[in-house]
Structure 1
């Protein structure tokens, strides 16, 4: 049996969004409970589609470049969520990661598994030195994902952002290439 590609496991495949997957994405991106920790309102179908199909050439060279991956079931190809990498500082090898999953797929370990695949590819293929995630302090699920990935909490930013009327605080979690390899 051939070994899975770096962006696939026995259960999941990470792949670029296409028009069909971007329509499925619009369903969960419109949910208030999905947008709750993202410091933005739920996306309209048009906003969801446009952001999913941005960067079709998959450029990842300059600060701000993003790689967005649909996370689909390996067997059925059904969309369960997404993971994203943003190149923050190319010279220093700094990459921010994030994940958003359909609440219908919660509790199955998909987010941790997909994030692990993404981190592996970023360290191996894109020579990232440090990968970090910023998350709302109230987002316990994302905090647990970071901890399962071996990331350490580096910062607690107090009331650093505004989410409508609510002042939000964030944690910053990170992992270095040498720590991930170990």
Structure 2
């Protein structure tokens, strides 16, 4: 079980639960084709973004396997919400989880995704006691693959045409890191 103490601070960011006041930021991000290009859904209109936000608002703790933690990513100096970070708890028995992140493209290339990923790995390993954390991505998303590599995750699988997404077969990459590997990197 994981009920984080909020806000979670990194060097430059604040990770916190989403609030209804985050709708403009969520819509600004989720409405962009370049954001949704490698995700399962198409760009969202404002109402769809509101519905997604309503779900995110409820994802503030991991009480059992099968749940997700969804955190707003805010620049500490400005208060601007630039994305979200996700931690999924897949299995209690296998102590397995997964991380994910989505950032507004106006903030790509600044190391924010790596900073978010590091915080999510800490939550998963130190907060939830996970043994193994994965990151899954569309194989064409080379920028996200580099983030996972910077976090010390190794590429374990390249699944060829394993999913039908947005009218085409897509390849998926799976990266992973074990708790002892994470601990030894720090």
Alignment of 1:35-54 (within 5 A): 35-54=36-55
1:42-90: CA deviation from partner (whole Å, max 9, x where unpaired): 2232232222332626341333211001110111110111110111112
1:158-182: CA deviation from partner (whole Å, max 9, x where unpaired): 1011122221000000001111000
Q: How much is the aligned-residue C-alpha RMSD, in angstroms?
A: 1.6
Task: From the superposition, tell whether residues 75 and 154 of structure 1 become closer, same or farther in structure 2 (CA, over 3 Å).
Answer: same
Contact 1:131-1:176 within 8 A present in 2 as well: yes
Residue matched to 2:13: 12
Task: From the superposition, tell whether residues 6 and 17 of structure 1 become closer, same or farther in structure 2 (CA, over 3 Å).
Answer: closer
Contact 1:22-1:53 within 8 A present in 2 as well: no
Alignment of 1:118-133 (within 5 A): 118-133=120-135
Residue matched to 1:141: 143
Residue matched to 1:62: 64
TM-score normalized by the length of structure 2 = 0.89
User: Does 2:88 align with 1:78?
Assistant: no
SS at match of 1:53: helix
Separation (CA, whole Å) in 2 of partners of 1:114 and 1:140? 17
TM-score normalized by the length of structure 1 = 0.91
Structure 2: which 5+ residue stretches go unaligned? 1-5
Residue matched to 1:107: 109
1:125-153: CA deviation from partner (whole Å, max 9, x where unpaired): 11111110110110001000000000001
Aligned counterpart for 1:159 among listed residues 153, 158, 161? 161
SS at match of 2:160: strand
Contact 1:35-1:41 within 8 A present in 2 as well: yes
1:66-118: CA deviation from partner (whole Å, max 9, x where unpaired): 10011101111101111101111122111111110000111111010111011
Residue matched to 1:34: 35
1:14-34: CA deviation from partner (whole Å, max 9, x where unpaired): 001111113311111011111
Separation (CA, whole Å) in 2 of partners of 1:104 and 1:81? 10
Cα deviation for residue 6 of structure 1 reads: 8.5
Structure 1: which 5+ residue stretches go unaligned? none
Figure out how many residues of one structure are paired with residues of the other and give that number: 178
